[in-house]
Structure 1
Amino acid sequence: MYEYRKLSPAEKAEVVRQRLAKGYPPHSPPHPIKDASHYLITAACYEHKHRLTTPQRRQQLLNQLFETFIQENITILAWVVLTNHYHLLTETIGFRWLSKQLRLIHGRTAHQWNKEDGLTGKMWYSYSDRAIRSEKHYYTTLNYIHYNPVKHNLVTSPYDWQESSVNWYLQEKGRDWLRTCWLEYPVTDYGEDWDK
């Protein structure tokens, strides 16, 4: 997303041409795999600006996501809301429904928080999804979500970040289960190039 802005007009036109040839939208993230059983959903604040800086905002967003997903009997299996983006690990979803619901949630929160902050303009960038391909990919994604606050230097331990499912897993599965999961499915370079 950010590299595109550095391209010349001719280079931008070529990128758009290639995306359209693949059946992708010209600028927003493509959603090519629609029949997997689980997905990683990611949404970021526009230009990765830190707009979710209070626990209240992060919890408000989580509440709206859970309330919306439960209406469609879609389970959020893991989650983390950081200061400028969030990740959800979900079961199968309808992408038309998801796109509409995320636009509504993002629109409501942007309106409220822009008003509170005395700002105008775009707050959210469109969401992206990644189909979960295997058991290994599932548990590595779970670990990636839980480790995300540490990766972004917000805390030194995943257990210190409240807007994450790690403490739910700690309570439900226990520390030994989480440790075993971490050792069996290490994150390594997972998600390394996503912000480019």
Structure 2
Amino acid sequence: MYEYRKLSQEEKIALVQERLKKGFPPHSPPHPIKNSEFYLITTTCYEHKPRINTEQRRQQLLNELFDKFINQGVEILAWVILPNHYHLLMKNVEFKLLSKTFRLIHGLLARQWNLEENTSGKVWCSYSDRAIRSERHYYTTLNYIHYNPVKHGWIESTYDWAESSIHWYLENHGRDWLREYWVKYPVKTYGKTWDDI
């Protein structure tokens, strides 16, 4: 989205035409694979501004996500909520319901947070998704989610971030399991090469 703003008018037209040829929406993230069992879902705050900037807001968002998705039979298997974006590893995703649910959650929180900050304007960008392609892709994604607060410089240890599923995995599988899967499925450059797993 941010690179798009730097393009000339001719480049913008060419880019939109290329997206349309591929069957993608003109400006929104495409959702090309809709029959996978697992997905990495990523949502960012508009212009990456840190709008989820308190533990209270991050916990409120997490509560809303679990509350709304559990009623739809969607499982959230891993998560991390950061000040300007979040990642979810999900199972049983129904894309029509997913979009509606995000609009419901994000609309509610955007209104509340704008009122709290005595401001107005866009809070969220559209979500993006990555279909999980293999066991290696699944566990590398899990590690990527847990490592994300460290990657972005918010903390030094993954265990220091409260709004992360690493605490659930630590409690239910133990530190040795986490360490074993971290070594077996390293993150490396994951995020730049999303699907090269």
Q: Judge conservation of contact 2:73–2:92 (CA < 8 Å) in 1.
A: no
CA distance in 2, matches of 1:192, 1:60: 30
Matched residue, 1:91: 91
Residues 124, 193 of structure 1: CA spacing in aligned structure 2 closer, same or farther, 3 A cutoff?
farther
Q: Give the distance between the partners of 1:191 and 1:92, measured in 2 at CA.
A: 23
Find the counterpart in structure 1 of residue 8 from structure 2: 8
Aligned to 2:110: 110
> Does residue 42 of structure 2 align to residue 42 of structure 1?
yes
Structure 1 ranges of 4+ moved more than 6 A: none
1:91-140 CA distance string (max 9 Å, x none)? 02110100011011111100000110111110000000000000000000
| Whole-angstrom CA distance in 1 between matches of 2:8 and 2:104 | 34
SS class of match (2:68):
helix
Q: How does 1:1-150 map to 2 (within 5 A)?
A: 1-150=1-150
How far did residue 193 of structure 1 move?
7.1
**Could you tell me how far 1:73 is from its partner in structure 2?**
1.3
CA distance in 1, matches of 2:193, 2:26: 20
3-state SS, counterpart of residue 108 of structure 2 = helix
Name which of structure 1's ranges 184-193 and 65-74 shifts more when overlaid on structure 2: 184-193
Percent identical pairs in the alignment equals 65
TM-score between both structures, scaled by the size of structure 1:
0.97
TM-fit CA distance, 1:32: 0.5
Q: SS in structure 2 opposite 1:35? A: coil
User: Normalising to structure 2: TM-score of the pair?
Assistant: 0.97
What is the CA RMSD across the aligned residues, in angstroms? Answer: 0.9
Which residue matches 1:154?
154
- Given residue 112 of structure 1, which amino acid in structure 2 is its aligned partner? Q
Q: Distance in 1 between matches of 2:158 and 2:50?
A: 19
Shift of 1:183: 0.2
| Secondary structure of residue in 2 paired with 1:172 | helix
Runs of 5+ unmatched residues, structure 1: none
User: 1:35·1:92 contact (CA, 8 Å) conserved in 2?
Assistant: no
Superposed displacement of residue 51, structure 1: 0.7
> What is the distance in 2 between the residues matched to 1:193 and 1:132?
13
